[in-house]
Chains A and B, each alone.
Chain A
Amino acid sequence: MHKFKKKGSNELPPISTASLPDIVFMLLFFFMVSTTMREVTLKVRQTLPSATELNKLEKKSLVSYIYVGVPHREFQRAYGIEPRIQLNDQFAEVSDITDYIIAEREARNEAEVPFMITSLKVDEYTKMQIVQDIKQELRKAAALHINYSARKRQAQF
């Protein structure tokens, strides 16, 4: 009657690992496609404000970032605990913004310059003073198209 009974060993066969590379590659491709390269190391602490009416930043290559926030603990000895501006990988002053914008423009194709956007990534608890100074500086540099970076919040009714 025991037609289906296995003969001989009761051991389980080892699980084949031949497909493991394929699975890992699949994961790899997923991450390669869905993520973007980190360009700068944040030296300031940030909690972005949340908002509902958001626009997505379409062309990443045309965006220049200005970060504002309280420096991380390891920089606090040198830079204090007041919110500071970070451009690229360094702390900067408000007066450096014009140079930064010009440098960003030089790095782009001339035809793309009118479409450049400046993204302000500012910590929620920063006072408007510093933001206002940045805006004034951007106006002087004629970088008028800006984006206040914010997190998505669900609309409440």
Chain B
Amino acid sequence: MSRKTPEIPSASLADIAFMLLIFFLVTTTMDVDSGLERRLPAFVENPEEDDTPPIKERNVFIVLVNKDNQLLVEGEWMQISELREKAKEFMANPFDLENLPEKEYKEVNFFGEVGISKGVISLQNDLGTQYGTYIAVQNELVGAINELREELSKSKFGKPYASLTKEEQDAVREIYPQRISEAEPKKVGGK
């Protein structure tokens, strides 16, 4: 009485798989989320009661963006494309110029004693500024610092910043910190 069990038909397997495939195609997205990472300052009740000591004028890199998406950098009208070079020059101050930020000499791992710029980038925008411009400006400023870090790590360790060890990265970061502060925006330009 040994009867052969009939084989399960596999003709519909393809259809089932297709159905699943289409389901996944419809319900999922492929985009990788990426963006500019920032940290907001903690909330303070009364911004007027700020008792941090004033920063010297030469140590601040002021970037203003108005409602027409125009840039005023250190009192000069500028294009976004020029901003990166200017910010790099400010942060690095290679010739120790008088009008660029002071340096504080400090012992850093791997590097010995180096002058670390006291420069702070201050960004202020109008409430009517377009978000796209705001991001473009942020991008240039972050890019300037990233480029400086990249150059330093290339000249010191001979390899890109991303492939340094954690300690080396920390040292490079200490020399070029990312100090971008955002002032409360002003409403100047109307709507």
Contacts and interface: CB of A to CB of B under 8 A. Distances in A.
A128 B164 CA distance: 37
Interface in B22-44: 24-25, 27-30, 32-43
B17 to A, nearest CB: 4
A27 B184 CA distance: 51
B14 A147 contact: no
Given A24-B14, A139-B41, A52 B139 contact: yes
Contact of B13 (A21, A132, A150): A21
A128 B35 contact: no
Contacts, number: 146
B128 interface: yes
Q: How large is the interface on B (under 10, 10 to 19, 20 to 34, 35 or more residues)?
A: 35 or more
A17 to B, nearest CB: 7
A55 interface: yes
B38 A128 contact: no
A32 B27 CA distance: 10
Contacts of A57: 33-35
B36 A51 contact: yes
Contact of A144 (B25, B40, B125): B40
A79 to B, nearest CB: 19
A131 B126 CA distance: 11
B18 interface: yes
A142 interface: yes
Interface of A: 17-18, 20-21, 24-25, 27-28, 31-32, 34-38, 49, 51-57, 60, 63, 117, 119-120, 122-129, 131-132, 135-136, 138-140, 142, 144-150, 152, 155
Given A131-B134, A144-B41, A150-B135, 20 more contacts: A18-B10, A21-B17, A28-B21, A31-B24, A35-B24, A35-B28, A37-B28, A38-B27, A120-B35, A124-B131, A124-B132, A124-B135, A125-B130, A127-B127, A128-B129, A128-B131, A129-B187, A139-B42, A144-B40, A146-B38
